[in-house]
Amino acid sequence: MNDIRIMNRAADNIRILAASMVEKANSGHPGGAMGGADFINVLFSEFLVYDPKNPTWEGRDRYFQDPGHMSPMLYSVLALAGKFTIDELKDFRQWGSVTPGHPELNVMRGIENTSGPLGQGHTYAVGAAIAAKFLKARLGEVMNQTIYAYISDGGVQEEISQGAGRIAGTLGLDNLVMFYDANKIQLSTPVNAVTNEDVAMKYQAWGWKVITINGNDVEQIRKALTEAKAEKERPTLIIGNTIMGKGSVDAGDGNFENKVSTHGQPLSKAGASITETIKNLGGDPDDPFQIFPEVAELYAHRAKELESIMSQRYEAQEAWAKANPEISAKMKNWFSGKAPVIDWKAIEQKPNQATRAASATVLGVLATQVENMICASADLSNSDKTDGFLKKTHAFEKGDFSGAFFQAGVSELAMACICIGMSLHGGVIAACGTFFVFSDYMKPAVRMASLMEQPVKFIWTHDAFRVGEDGPTHEPVEQEAQIRLMEKLKNHKGHNSMLVLRPADVMETTVAWKMAMENISTPTALILSRQGIKDLPSKQNRYDEALQAERGAYIVECDQNPVVTLVASGSEVATLEEGAALLRAEGVQVRVVSVPSEGLFRSQSKEYQDSVIPVSGKVFGLTAGLPVTLESLVGANGKVWGLESFGFSAPYHILDEKLGFTGANVYKQVKQLLSTK
């Protein structure tokens, strides 16, 4: 271990850099970063195992930071480790900077997750720990790693922490070590103004090992981390009692620590003196952006240690690969992120099923053919039909990760974030299911998955008011319009941030899963029906025709000279077909279009879009959601029949009649549309 004096000097160096970054930007959060500097320094200079020359090495320890507002702390320690330059620290929070206000996923620079929404970050760590256990069960000691997480008072207060804590404890994730920065100060108040819970007892009740220390004491931090790494039964929570704004003083050289004001603004605005604080911490106020020589030497020494550690790890990994060539090839393939090869056309679907049942059929195939896939459900596996996957494997249990199913319990947000963490870890394909109406609980996670470009598969069933007897609480109406906004929102690469698919029949469901598995760059949503749907008509081979869904929208049927185009997604396409038959009986020529993904359709050429939904013609749209779901597709010459209220409790076929989702009403509405000029 390193000399305590040098370790304290390094922590002070981090404090100076963090406070100076915020001061120069005139924006940010210095206090927490200053308090957490001791822990982050010990972790990075003595414990975290990674390859500085190969940041994507599969077996590395991972560090997930939850409080993104403490980014100055993370950027500063990574600068000591050679991942950021001093000039990049000076550019904190500026346009085009690689040091944004909250850290954004950048594994090459040592940042394993985008953080900001409190509570989500440490939940990613739980997912990564599960992924590591899952992979270790298949690959062996080559995946023997530790997942570290950093959480603050705000993250503990966010309700998602309950799901993360319960799940990690239940599964006995002994490869997970979480540091709780308990500085007793938050943005607006002291912590005791909003909570008086005993955090240690809470985590112990969930089955965690809990160690309470002075979080600014190097020796106590070392001892706690050593003890945590030796734990073989439970995840470990290290409660580090730290000092908010540690080292800060006012202009009269008076102590300015433990102040609410230093949480979310530059020290000078908070009432402290940045000049005197830098002096107090051993820095030069005229040149605060520097790495002290002895600190540079400390991190150079760690780099040498890591070089030696990695030499041994690579040697062991090479020997393992020679002894296990097939498993080694699997590992390389899994971490490549490539889509698995599946004979999709060979998947046999029963006709006229609910699309959730068709999804179950596909999941059964994936469970047996995609060895690195993990499927999860929020206590609904027999209803969302993720049990199609579960029936071919078994659920994770403490001490047994040989299965591939994650029973998350009633915890949609935590489940979604944990699946994102699995994806961030790499080497696994994560999917999770629940009812579509409960996607409302998951929106913050979906947004982060989209921002980080993580290809998690979200399986949402019971897609509309046809849930029926369960009533309006369980009947999604506005949810599809909400989630389709993610198809309109671009990620930083300029692509649709999410792929949203609502298949119209069993074969379209197979194709939707094909698209989901082949989408390795963004999350995918599959929105599936509870009730059976009549298969769409086919001229030759329905699967081949359904492959047209890969362009987002396609013509299911088209008469010779159509006077109207009928547009829908999901089960409403079959209802359009019923209406089309009535219209044709009166000589009205129609075109029927299925639009499983508007976002993907809008990415096609203008020529293709116009060939499917002509701009000049009459267009009728049918949606079980809000009319706005289809209004942009239908256009000014068209009309949408949708649902403009919450649903009702009744059998779904009664609701179809009462709410106008029948072939007869399609006929009626189209006739009215055609009668208008």
Q: Do 652 and 465 touch, CB atoms closer than 8 A? A: yes
Q: What is the DSSP letter of 296?
A: H
- Give the strand order in the sheet containing 62-65: 62-65, 147-152, 176-182, 236-241, 209-214
Joined together, the tokens standing for residue 646 give 């919450």
Q: What is the DSSP string of 517-576?
A: HH--SS-EEEE--SS--PPPP-SS-HHHHHGGGGGS-EEEEE-SS-SEEEEE-TTHHHHH
Classify 364 as helix, strand or coil.
helix
Q: Do 528 and 463 touch, CB atoms closer than 8 A? A: yes
Q: What is the DSSP string of 379-430?
A: S-TTTSSTHHHHTTS-B-BTTB--S-EEE--S-HHHHHHHHHHHHHH-S-EE
Computed over its alpha carbons, how large is the radius of gyration of the chain?
28
* 301 Cβ contact partners less than 8 Å away, ≥ 6 residues apart: 2
At 442, give phi and psi (nearest 5°): -105, -5
Joined together, the tokens standing for residue 652 give 């779904």
Joined together, the tokens standing for residue 334 give 């899994």
Joined together, the tokens standing for residue 495 give 């692509």
**CB neighbourhood size of 537 (10 A):** 15
* Residues facing 240 on adjacent strands: 181, 213
Q: Do 53 and 59 touch, CB atoms closer than 8 A? A: no
Helices (H) and strands (E) in the chain, counts: 27, 16
Joined together, the tokens standing for residue 568 give 């829908």
Q: Where are the beta strands (DSSP E) in 66-208?
A: 147-152, 176-182
Amino acid at the residue 366: L
Cα–Cα distance between 203 and 237 in angstroms, integer? 8
Strand duo 590-594 + 554-558: pairing: antiparallel
At 429, give phi and psi (nearest 5°): -110, 120
State whether the Cα torsion 306-300-67-444 is positive or negative: negative
State whether the Cα torsion 293-299-303-304 is positive or negative: positive
Residues with catalytic roles: 412
* 49 Cβ contact partners less than 8 Å away, ≥ 6 residues apart: 60, 61, 145, 146, 306, 309, 313
